[in-house]
Every structure is written in C-alpha cells, then in structure tokens.
C-alpha cells in the first residue's frame, strides 16, 4: 500500500490545498493530511480548529485521515509507515524553500520520498495568508475556500 503524508499549517485550508490532496489521492492509496504545529509560526487558528476545518472539508474523500503533530514531519511519516511526503508548489519562491526542506528531510530519513505537485492553473495565487488578508478587507473569497472556512473566518 502506498501511503503519503501531506503536511502543512493549513491556517486555514484552501481550495488549493484540496486540489493537491485530490491529485495526491490518484497516486497514493491513503493520504494522511497532517496539521503541523510549528511553535515558530504565528497562526490565526488553533490546531484543533484547523483539524476540524480539514475534517469538514475532506469528508467526500475516501482514504484520507486528518491528524496533527508537533514532531518533525519525516518522523511522523515514518511512524505512519508513509512512503512519501507530499508538498504543493505554487511558484519559484516555493521551490527554493521546499528544496531546502527536502534536503533536510532526506538527511533525517532518506527512505521517505518527497513528492511535489504543482498547483493547478488558476489556484497558484491562493495562500492561507492571502485568504486571511482578503477576508479582513471584505473580499468575497467563497470560491477560494471550503464553506467551513468562511464561517471560521467570520468568527475571527
């Protein structure tokens, strides 16, 4: 069985994230979507809120499990017997960051493959940060995020 771990902060989850997940499910038999709790990052939503939003947003997908971790992603992947870590790439700037991250992950555990999926056309501009900023300025983001995210953003 081919198992992947798809980590991220998902603060909040976007349709870009869900697009990467859909495409990863065509490659892997099971995908763990992992909310990475990075204490260095300042997040808008708690880990629990992000997990809830992801669970609601991924109900239609089979073979997806939503989890969280405060450990290193490659360690979590090994624990779950995942063959790969999936990451999405939007632009050249993402590549530079992900390239360094992949090298560090390979140093930690060379048995875990890094798999990169390019964002689909029309979704490359979406980021959690831009979603939050547009929402704060009353831009209609309903076509960019799952419905559950809209309700959580309104509460914030």
Q: Could you give the residue numbers annotated as active site?
A: 17, 41, 90, 128
- For residue 36, what are its two tokens? 């990475």
- For residue 81, what are its two tokens? 């017997």
- CA–CA distances in Å: residue 11 to residues 56, 67, 145: 14, 14, 11
Strand partners for 87:
116
- CA–CA distances in Å: residue 6 to residues 20, 25, 59, 84, 135: 9, 11, 16, 9, 25
């Amino acid at each position: 069985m081919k198992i992947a771990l798809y980590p991220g902060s998902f603060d909040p989850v976007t349709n870009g994230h869900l697009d990467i997940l859909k495409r990863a499910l065509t490659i892997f038999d099971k995908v763990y979507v992992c909310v990475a709790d990075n204490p260095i990052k300042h997040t808008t939503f708690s880990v629990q809120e992000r997990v809830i939003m992801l669970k609601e947003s991924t109900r239609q997908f089979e073979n997806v499990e939503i989890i969280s971790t405060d450990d290193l992603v490659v360690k979590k992947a090994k624990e779950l017997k995942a063959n790969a870590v999936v990451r999405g790439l939007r632009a050249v700037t993402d590549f530079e960051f992900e390239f360094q991250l992949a090298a560090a992950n390979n140093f930690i555990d060379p048995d875990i493959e890094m798999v990169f999926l390019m964002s689909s056309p029309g979704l490359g501009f979406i980021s959690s940060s831009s979603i939050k900023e547009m929402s704060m300025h009353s831009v209609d983001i309903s076509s960019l995020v799952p419905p559950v995210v809209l309700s959580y953003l309104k509460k914030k």
